[in-house]
């Protein structure tokens, strides 16, 4: 099944649900679970894992999607109906999910070397040093790589990240994304 068909399916489930997002918290989680999994682990490597993600980061990103400051054809329409309380609830829910992603048997050594650039903000284990930045340990490599490329290409804005990755090659970005998925959480 192509990614485009999956996206259309996910959007239709979410947009045409008969439930009010702000009144039914169980339904709210179920709707998010279509893409992000009920335990916060997405079955699609193009979508992020949310389990154990920092609450502040989740809330900030949800608000950015809703305002249009961050663009995503799947997220923006879904968030139109969410209240700030809904976003706080989802952030609480997903940040509290403790799903273990085991480390891989083989670690990308180039990614390990490149990760030195990431450590001041995301530590050696991929956990952010503050609540407003994302944990990247155990994140899908495809998702992480796509976000890094979006930042590098100017489609996604982050002053700090722009300066950190501006001189990195696409190969280095792919390697570091692989590394952070491989080390698990």
How many angstroms separate the CA atoms of 142 and 87, rounded?
25
DSSP class per residue in 74-128: THHHHHTT--HHHHHHHHHHHHH-----PPPSS--HHHHHHGGGTHHHHTTTT--
Q: Domain extents for the chain?
A: 3-96, 109-182
Write down the pTM of the prediction.
Answer: 0.85
Q: What is the predicted pLDDT for the residue at 17?
A: 46
What CATH fold (topology level) applies to the domain 3-96?
Cytochrome Bc1 Complex; Chain D, domain 2 (1.10.760)
- Is 109-182 in the same CATH topology as 3-96? yes
Domain 109-182 -> CATH class:
mainly alpha
Tally of CB atoms within 10 A around 56: 16
How many angstroms separate the CA atoms of 145 and 93, rounded?
25
Question: What does each of the 185 residues of the chain score in pLDDT, given as a tens digit?
Answer: 555 545 544 444 444 443 344 458 888 999 999 999 989 999 999 999 999 999 999 999 999 999 999 999 999 888 988 999 999 999 999 999 987 788 899 999 999 999 999 999 999 999 999 999 999 999 999 999 999 999 999 999 899 999 999 999 999 999 999 999 999 87
Q: At what angle do helices 3-15 and 25-36 cross, to 10 degrees?
A: 170
How many angstroms separate the CA atoms of 115 and 112, rounded?
5
Query: pLDDT tens digit string along 46-90?
Result: 999 999 999 999 999 999 999 999 999 999 888 988 999 999 999
Q: What is the predicted pLDDT for the residue at 22?
A: 47
Q: Quick one: how far is CA 148 from the chain centroid? A: 12
Q: Are 36 and 47 in contact (CB under 8 A)?
A: yes
């Amino acid at each position: 099944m192509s990614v485009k068909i999956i996206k259309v399916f996910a959007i239709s489930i979410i947009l045409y649900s008969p439930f009010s997002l702000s009144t039914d918290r169980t339904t709210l989680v179920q709707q998010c679970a279509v893409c992000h999994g009920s335990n916060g682990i997405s079955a699609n490597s193009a979508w992020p894992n949310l389990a154990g993600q920092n609450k502040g980061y989740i809330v900030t990103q949800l608000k950015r999607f809703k305002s249009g400051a961050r663009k995503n054809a799947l997220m923006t329409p879904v968030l139109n109906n969410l209240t700030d309380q809904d976003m706080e609830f989802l952030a609480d829910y997903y940040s509290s999910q403790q799903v273990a992603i085991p480390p891989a048997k083989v670690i990308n050594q180039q990614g390990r070397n490149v990760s030195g650039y990431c450590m001041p903000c995301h530590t050696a284990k991929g956990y952010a040093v503050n609540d407003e930045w994302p944990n990247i340990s155990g994140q899908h490599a495809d998702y992480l790589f796509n976000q890094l490329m979006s930042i590098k290409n100017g489609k996604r804005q982050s002053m700090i990240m722009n300066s950190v990755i501006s001189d990195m090659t696409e190969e280095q970005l792919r390697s570091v994304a692989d590394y952070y998925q491989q080390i698990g959480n």
